[in-house]
Amino acid sequence: MGSGGVQRFWKWSLKVSGALLDQGLVSGANFIVAVLLARWLQPADYGAFAIAYASMLIVSGAHNALLFEPLSVFGATTFGNWQRHYQNLVGVAYVILSLLVLAAGAVAATAAPQSGLRGAVLVGAVSVAPLTALTLVRRLSYLRAAPWLAARASLIYCTLALTLLGAFKRFGIVSYPRAFVCLAVASLAAAAYAWLRMPASHPSPDSSGAAPSLLAVVRRHWQYGRWVLISSVLTPFLSQWQLTVTAKCLGLGSAGVYRAVMNVTAPLAQGFVAISLLMLPRLARTAAERGPSRALISAGNVCGVMAGAAAVFEIILLIWHKEMRALLYANQMPFDSHLIVIAGFATLFLAAGSCAGQATKALNHPGRLLVAEMSAALVSIPLTLWLTTRFGLQGAIWSMVLAQSVWACAAVSIALLPCINAGARFRDWRECGPTLASS
């Protein structure tokens, strides 16, 4: 490797380290909050927190589809010459979309069948706007190749969230709605810090024509995001479907236990999310500059590393699942520690599916991922109902793993479909470059 290769490797390693630290701080803060609430709240109250958080994830799918995903693609390509202007327009669109999502979430909360579920769904809907503010500035930081700015904002979020929650505990007023207040205040403060310190960017010397208008940005985002919208709502819905069924069939207490089990795998899953966020702009540039086949190869390399990390993590769970349960919850949560091992298998499929999905998005074919989501839905919805009613909490966790496996297999198949159609062998991915470019 020459000096130029070493410098590129070192530069990329620093960016990856910043992204991992950023995601580690955010997921670490959310993880610690979730574990502390599991220790401090009754199982039914913790179940309500889990439902509220799940509702927030589902409703925020609109932000992901119409703002964050297009931002990572077009901010690096189509609007790359007008980054500061584009950032301001995205901020305006974010405020408008947040108000619309808040209204839709409030209406959805009134349809909840139980008063406890209704309140949890409403809390989740109200929390969408402040909690996604941090996500917006972190995506912008990745777009500007400044993951360490995102990491500093995440440090503010982590510190404030845990400090406020500790203060509530000190005064004996901890509850799941107040936990969301802690997260929301911390998110807004961190987002304001990062927004004001975003690296300055001016129109590139080769930029031509007038700066894009808000309508042009919205139209471009909609053309891309309309295909992602169903997928972005369906993905968190499917990931939280087991939790919802558990709450409905087994009660909020069992839903709290389900969330406690899933907390164990959350740090690794969020690490994969950090890598995926950093991957998408890079894959989009690679596809535009060096061809789609090169982007697919890069995604495959990252997938191998992530799958290896997931395998090591699963081995750790197999050996120390009892100790991990005792360490996190001090035996406050009544569940069999083997459930942690079952949940760990899902991270293997998450590694493959997330890399394949980002490659497909980078090639500007986000609509194809809807096939993967629908495949998982066809398996998950009936299977979860049957396994949960038949085998209880263990059945709900197994249905989550099976649905994740179907989604991953479908996503990988979709990403490789042009190569398969061209008759190329997996070790000869470069041969499918012309086919990918014309698909």
CB-CB contact of 182 with 171 (8 Å): no
Structural contact between residues 58 and 130, judged by C-beta atoms closer than 8 angstroms: no
Instruction: Go through 374-388 and write b for each residue having 16 or more CB atoms within 10 A of its CB, e for each that does not.
Output: bbbbebbbebbbebb
- Residue 247: predicted pLDDT: 83
Rounded to an integer, what distance in angstroms lies between the CA atom of residue 351 and that of residue 197? 32
Quick check: 34 and 259 in contact, CB under 8 A? Answer: yes
What is the distance between the terminal CA atoms of the chain, rounded to a whole angstrom? Answer: 34
Element (H, E) at 246: helix 214-250
Domain ranges of the chain: 15-199+211-438
Residue 291: left if φ>0, alpha if ψ -120 to 50, beta else—which one? left
pLDDT value, residue 10:
63
What does each C-alpha distance from 391 to 33, 143, 149, 385 come to in angstroms? 29, 45, 46, 10
Other beta carbons less than 10 A from residue 299's beta carbon? 25
- Residue 155 pLDDT: 94
Sign of the alpha-carbon torsion through 369, 372, 376, 379: positive
Q: Residue 426: is it exposed, middle or buried by C-beta count within 10 angstroms (0-12/13-18/19+)? A: exposed
Dihedral sign (CA 153, 156, 162, 168): negative
Query: What's the burial of 392, exposed, middle or buried (CB within 10 Å: 0-12/13-18/19+)?
Result: middle
Alpha-carbon distance 39 to 77, whole Å?
47
Length, in residues, of the chain: 439
Q: Return d(Cα 135, Cα 90) in angstroms, integer.
A: 13
Side chain identity at residue 285, one-letter code: R
pLDDT in the model for residue 6: 57
pLDDT at 110: 66
C-alpha triplet 30, 33, 34: angle, nearest 5°: 85
Q: Find tokens 């909690």 and name the residue.
A: 131
CA distance 55 to 43: 18
Can you give the pLDDT at residue 79? 67
| Residue listed under structure tokens 């901020």 | 91
Three-class secondary structure of residue 68 per DSSP: helix
Nearest to 132 by CA among 56, 218, 214, 240: 56
Tokens of 412: 């990988």
pLDDT (tens place) for every residue of the chain, 439 residues total: 555 555 665 666 676 677 778 878 888 888 899 889 988 888 888 888 888 888 888 778 788 888 887 887 776 666 656 777 787 888 888 888 888 877 776 676 666 555 556 677 777 778 888 898 998 888 888 877 778 888 899 999 999 999 999 999 999 888 888 898 999 999 999 999 998 888 765 444 445 556 777 887 888 888 877 777 776 677 777 777 888 888 888 888 888 888 888 888 888 887 787 777 677 777 877 777 777 777 788 888 888 888 899 999 999 999 998 888 888 887 677 778 889 999 999 998 988 888 888 888 777 777 677 777 777 788 888 888 899 999 988 999 999 899 888 888 888 888 877 655 544 444 444 444 444 444 4
Nearest alpha-carbon partner for 243 in 50, 404, 37: 50
How many CB atoms sit inside 10 A of residue 5's CB? Answer: 9
Q: Which of 358, 362, 317, 342 is nearest to 404 (CA)?
A: 342
CA distance 313 to 344: 8
Query: What distance lies between CA 294 and its chain's CA centroid?
Result: 25
Contact 408, 268 (CB under 8 A): no
Are 357 and 372 in contact, with CB atoms under 8 Å apart?
A: yes
| Burial classification of residue 188, based on how many CB atoms lie within 10 Å of its CB (0-12 exposed, 13-18 middle, 19 or more buried) | middle
